Structure 1
Amino acid sequence: MSTTTLHYIHDPLCGWCYGAAPLVKAAREVVPVRAHGGGMMAGARRQPVTPQLRDYVMPHDRRIAELTGQPFGDAYFEGLLRDASAVFDSAPPTAAVLAAETLAGRGLDMLSRLQSAHYVEGRRIADRAVLVEMAGAIGLDATAFARALDDAQREELHAHIAETRRLMERAGARGFPSFVLERDGKLTVLDAGAFLGRPQALRDWLRAQLPDDVASQGSAPAAFGCGPDSCSI
């Protein structure tokens, strides 16, 4: 039997991944989607919020909003991006996505909620209390989630990020977000940039591709998004 999966390579703090969130939602209506967190701002790459960081990301964010229609809140622009005590760290929210997936198969729902919490509500999604609160917001048991979060951070997170990086190398994915269609073991990187702001087009394209070989769609994707270790426009 033919099997098809869309691998979604992301980072919770990648603005372009937030811009691609409607594409993920559309794709989930057509094919199974698996999330792979790449640790763009994890470990040594975590960053405190500074005026320099704010000045760097804001033009990117405004461009993302323009191209995709995704909302960015004042609580993010004028709150979180001015909070010198905040730290951007991909590791805890990535662990939260893994925990939600392990607990209830809700990893992508958790990622979507965390993206809204960060970019609209200006919440600190690296903070444990916020992660537990967001788990409750999508209907997960807070106590069970907290245990699963601890397990994910201790046992799964680093291996998951390493496996994501290996998948990127194997598929030829250049950064975040990347969409990799796997059909019968064959990997094809999709040109996600061609679908930004057009989730219906991606939904229709995926439906059209399912019966056929997608190898002809493997041309180099348009340059957009975040690189393996930093975000660029």
Structure 2
Amino acid sequence: MELVNNTLYYIHDPMCSWCWAFQPTWHKILKELPSHINVNYLLGGLAPDNDLQMPLETQKYVQENWIKIQKVVPGTEFNYDFWTLNEPRRSTYPSCRAVISAKKQHPDFEVLMTEGIQKAYYLNALNPSNEDTLINIARDIGLNVESFKEDLKSSEVNNLLLDQIHTTKTMSISGFPSLVLVKKNNLEKVKIDYLNSNYIINQIIT
């Protein structure tokens, strides 16, 4: 994937809990960005396809991470019922492919699907590793469900995901979310403050 100048790349995963915590500040940044800066979303692919139930040790780690996030970013909501209502799997690639499949129908659906997945997972205790959850979100946001289901399983969409993952790896980022600004053919990593959009904007405009 060729990187474009004057573009802010937002590297994320729809099932990344820190990305969920970053959403309010990210929305502020989008409103404050200079008009000459474009925004491009890249999926980092947090966890490959896996049909096995998440080990209890991993479940405990993720829940502890949610608790940590709520201390670092007050106001972030998590529905802990998820852990008793589901059989969690360490697999985020299906939700990543859902975002790409949604974007294929219209660019606006990229963000709508991402936020739909986050709300289903973190607020409604639904499992976005499950295809039926993703299909219901697609229906809720107004996608053509039959086309979505076909794209979700297509090699084309999977290859697009792998291409995005490869691109993010070339950026040498340390985790999600990450922001990378490309200008004058240079990549500049933007430091993230989860509570201060001005700190981030100031790095972009200088």
- The within-5 A match list for 1:95-110 is 95-105=97-107, 106-110=109-113
CA distance in 2, matches of 1:191, 1:52: 31
1:33 aligns with 2:39: yes
Change (3 A) 1:149 1:174: same
- Equivalent pair of 1:41/1:88 in contact (CA under 8 Å): yes
Following superposition, the deviation at residue 200 of structure 1 comes to 5.5
Q: TM-score, normalised by structure 2?
A: 0.82
The residue aligned with 2:91 is 89
- Equivalent pair of 1:172/1:189 in contact (CA under 8 Å): no
The residue aligned with 1:216 is none
The residue aligned with 1:224 is none
- Equivalent pair of 1:22/1:199 in contact (CA under 8 Å): no
The residue aligned with 1:189 is 189
- Equivalent pair of 2:47/2:91 in contact (CA under 8 Å): yes
- Equivalent pair of 2:15/2:117 in contact (CA under 8 Å): no
Following superposition, the deviation at residue 131 of structure 1 comes to 0.8
The residue aligned with 1:161 is 162
134-143 or 24-33, which deviates more: 24-33
Following superposition, the deviation at residue 113 of structure 1 comes to 1.5
The residue aligned with 2:174 is 174
The residue aligned with 2:53 is 48
**SS of structure 2 residue aligned to 1:172:** coil
CA distance in 1, matches of 2:195, 2:52: 29
CA distance in 2, matches of 1:38, 1:126: 16
Change (3 A) 1:133 1:173: same
Change (3 A) 1:66 1:127: same
CA distance in 2, matches of 1:67, 1:128: 32
The residue aligned with 1:123 is 126
Q: TM-score, normalised by structure 1?
A: 0.73
CA RMSD of superposed structures (Å): 2.5
Following superposition, the deviation at residue 89 of structure 1 comes to 1.1
- Equivalent pair of 1:23/1:196 in contact (CA under 8 Å): yes
The residue aligned with 1:134 is 137
The residue aligned with 1:198 is 196
- Equivalent pair of 1:49/1:83 in contact (CA under 8 Å): no
The number of residues matched between the two structures is 197
- Equivalent pair of 1:36/1:161 in contact (CA under 8 Å): no
CA distance in 2, matches of 1:47, 1:83: 16
Kindly provide the amino acid, as one letter, of the partner of residue 43 in structure 1.
D
Q: Deviations over 1:98-154 (max 9, x none)?
A: 011111102122111101111111111022221121122223232332233233xx2
Kindly provide the amino acid, as one letter, of the partner of residue 198 in structure 1.
N
CA distance in 1, matches of 2:45, 2:58: 18
Change (3 A) 1:52 1:84: farther
Kindly provide the amino acid, as one letter, of the partner of residue 13 in structure 2.
D
Kindly provide the amino acid, as one letter, of the partner of residue 195 in structure 2.
G
The residue aligned with 1:71 is 77
Kindly provide the amino acid, as one letter, of the partner of residue 197 in structure 1.
L
Structure 2 residues without counterparts, runs of 5 or longer? none
Kindly provide the amino acid, as one letter, of the partner of residue 17 in structure 1.
C
